[in-house]
Amino acid sequence: MSLMIDCRNVIKIYYNRTKKIKIAALRGVELKVKKGKIVAIVGPSGAGKSTLLKILGALEFPSSGTVHVAGKLLNTFSDSQIIDYHRNWVGFVWQAPLRNVLTSEKALNNVFLPMRIAGKIPQSKQKERAKELLQAVGLGHRMNHKPSQLSGGEIQRLGIATALANDPKILLMDEPTGELDSETTAEIFTLLSELNNYFDKTIVIVSHDHYLEKKADVVYHISDGLLLNIDIARTFELDSSKEQVSYMDEFGLVRIPLSFIKELGIQNYVKIRRTTDRIEILPHIQEAVSEITLEETRKKDSKRKSSPKKKRR
């Protein structure tokens, strides 16, 4: 199965207003998504989920690293190529349901209008496709209703149908169930699985909701701008030894490749040693402190606190 998305060592740096303080939103992400798969990226707020999704959608570009979609390098896209990419390659579904629809238009028009603007689908088939998509998301009986007449879950279903209007290859979803209750959330994720099977789309969802892990084909956990369940650094051979490149932020935080950690048996502590021309990171075994020693220390502290102080003469 061919790769639809291939991100390599993607780093995204933001600056504050004075451009003096750097914030690393993504710190060397490597992500491979196969065509037709549902991929979930799960993590807390501020972990870098939305930043990664915006980069995949060519709404932002990485500070360094490469992003290939269907073999095309997004980093080099011109303005016209970005417009084409947004119209024909990707569909977006955002957290707030009303952000995905035109509140003044009926459901049918919400799905129909993107097709009329893009002109990708023959005009004679546009309304027919709009009706088919509304049927697919369970809104066949609500085609003539405006968003104000729909529930939150129905609005999000309408948003999904609208995102699929121009038959994109990829569906990018940012917290699509963040404002929905648990029952509606389950319904939306079940719907996505059904749509994925029927329309054969590649779907990337970022969310803090761990329920998503049960529905996705592949799950990544993201924290502090790093995908934790893959080795983020590229490996290359040099003089029969392995070297890897990792990003270090302004506070000295650096990711040690998981393969190195496993090979050296590193667990909780490392020893950092500075030599003349390099920094060495070595495995370090923390000495265990026995319970007896701890108890003796507690007794000594207790006696020291309870004993009266001698008065000076």
- Pair of tokens at residue 225: 């701008």
d(CA 92, CA 205) in angstroms, rounded, equals 10
Name the CATH topology of 3-227.
Rossmann fold (3.40.50)
Concatenated DSSP letters for 261-283? HHHHT--S-EEEEE-SS-EEEEE
Q: What is the pLDDT along the chain (313 residues), one digit of tens a residue?
A: 588 999 988 989 888 777 667 788 898 888 999 999 999 998 888 889 999 999 999 999 998 889 999 889 998 899 999 999 998 899 999 988 899 999 999 999 999 999 998 888 898 899 999 999 999 999 999 999 999 999 999 999 999 999 999 999 999 999 888 888 888 888 888 888 888 888 899 999 998 877 777 778 888 888 888 876 433 333 333 333 566 666 665 556 676 766 777 788 887 788 888 988 888 888 877 655 444 455 565 666 666 656 665 555 5
Chain length of the chain: 313
pLDDT (tens digit per residue) in 157-216: 999 999 999 999 999 999 888 888 888 888 888 888 888 888 899 999 998 877 777 778
Please report the sign of the dihedral spanned by the C-alpha atoms of residue 161, residue 169, residue 214, residue 174: negative
> Half-sphere exposure (CA, 13 Å, Cβ side) for 243?
5
| Integer Cα distance of 223 and 298 in angstroms | 38
What are the residues whose beta carbons fall under 8 Å from the beta carbon of 176, sequence distance 6 or more? Answer: 93, 94, 95, 156, 159, 160, 188, 205, 207
